[in-house]
Amino acid sequence: MKTIIKNWVFWLNELSWAQKLFPLLLSLSYYCIWNHQNHFHHDQKILIVIIMTLAYSGQRVRGIFNFLLPFILTAIVYDSQRFYSNFLRGAIRVKEPYFFDLKFFGIDANGSILTPNEWFQLHTHPLLDLWTGFAYLFFILIFILIAAYFVYWVHRSSRISWAFFWLNVIGYTTYYWYPAAPPWYVALYGLGPAKLDVSSNPAGCARFDQILGTSFFSEMYGRSADVFGAIPSLHVAYPLLAIYFAFQYKKARLFSIFFYISMCFSAVYLNHHYVLDVLLGSLYAIVIGATIFHLPSRLPFKIT
């Protein structure tokens, strides 16, 4: 035990002051802000425990912290939106995304033109509900596992993790200068002026919960930070980001493509995104992925 403690103290002394203090200051700031807003709950406690454990448990575990840090920061930024989104958000677009899909991707159904979302809601199937539900439930975990594979077994660089972070940050900013209602909102409330007091809705994901007798999606979307964040579709952006790095590293290309196709279909089939959202999410992923991948190698992307 004395040897373990001695080695840990030696390792801690080898860290710079920034490395020593950043996780602690991050956790304290996170606690103080959320507690002040009366929003410090079980999820926040778990996140702080994860940060402190990974950051101060030794060199090997610290490497996991460095890998997960962009994902942790993304979770913090996402959750924080509930405090300021209503103050920053511009005029909400309800009609424009709907009519864009109706014009360019409309489907003739017995003389009526429907958006792909509307058409799919008339042609659901339990097997598709299960497939798309699993895709929507585990899409972040799948991306993290792909990123871990690239970082630890292919190329010891956290570029894909930081690409994920900046993809989300830039995607979130879009929610404010171009807030857009998702297709499930239009299905429930129509094309009139946006209702700001609407809670997030699981839409087609509710069919998944009904089949399995679970409440995964009702609980998940009950904690959603922003209803009017349909553009860009980050559900689609993550797997395309994985595709970009898969082709750069020449690994996991087929799986990443399957992941992307599954998410594109799921986003529209489950009535969470228009085709327009999918296209813009894909564009964001390519631009951010290419930018981060080609940044100078001297930047601190190495996992240690």
What is the pLDDT averaged over residues 176-185?
A: 96
- Two structure tokens written together for 131: 């497939």
pLDDT-derived band at 32, boundaries 50, 70, 90:
confident
Q: How many CA atoms lie within 13 A of 204 on its CB side?
A: 31
pLDDT-derived band at 226, boundaries 50, 70, 90:
confident
Residue 304 pLDDT exceeds 60: no
Residue 299: its pLDDT value, please? 61
> For the whole model, what pTM was predicted?
0.91
Residue 239: its pLDDT value, please? 98
Q: pLDDT tens digit string along 85-117?
A: 778 888 999 999 999 999 999 999 988 999 999
Q: Which residue has the higher pLDDT, 161 or 60?
A: 161
How many beta carbons lie within 10 A of that of residue 206, not counting itself? 19
- Two structure tokens written together for 275: 């085709």
pLDDT-derived band at 302, boundaries 50, 70, 90:
low
Residue 298: its pLDDT value, please? 61
φ/ψ bin of 58: left (φ > 0), alpha (ψ from -120 to 50), beta (otherwise)? left
Q: Which residue has the higher pLDDT, 60 or 271?
A: 271
Closest by CA position to 286, among listed 253, 249, 223, 238 = 238
Tell me the percentage of the chain whose pLDDT exceeds 90.
62
pLDDT-derived band at 259, boundaries 50, 70, 90:
very high
How many beta carbons lie within 10 A of that of residue 12, not counting itself? 14
Q: pLDDT tens digit string along 232-251?
A: 999 999 999 999 999 999 99
Residue 277 pLDDT exceeds 70: yes
Residue 169: its pLDDT value, please? 96
Comparing 46-50, 178-182, 187-191, the range with the smallest average pLDDT is 46-50
Q: Which residue has the higher pLDDT, 10 or 253?
A: 253
pLDDT-derived band at 132, boundaries 50, 70, 90:
very high
Mean pLDDT of the chain: 90
Contacting residues for 148 by C-beta, under 8 A, at least 6 apart: 67
Residue 301: its pLDDT value, please? 65
Q: What is the DSSP letter of 200?
A: P
Residue 168: its pLDDT value, please? 97
Residue 80: its pLDDT value, please? 84
pLDDT-derived band at 83, boundaries 50, 70, 90:
confident
What is the pLDDT averaged over residues 197-217?
A: 93
Residue 127: its pLDDT value, please? 98
pLDDT-derived band at 151, boundaries 50, 70, 90:
very high
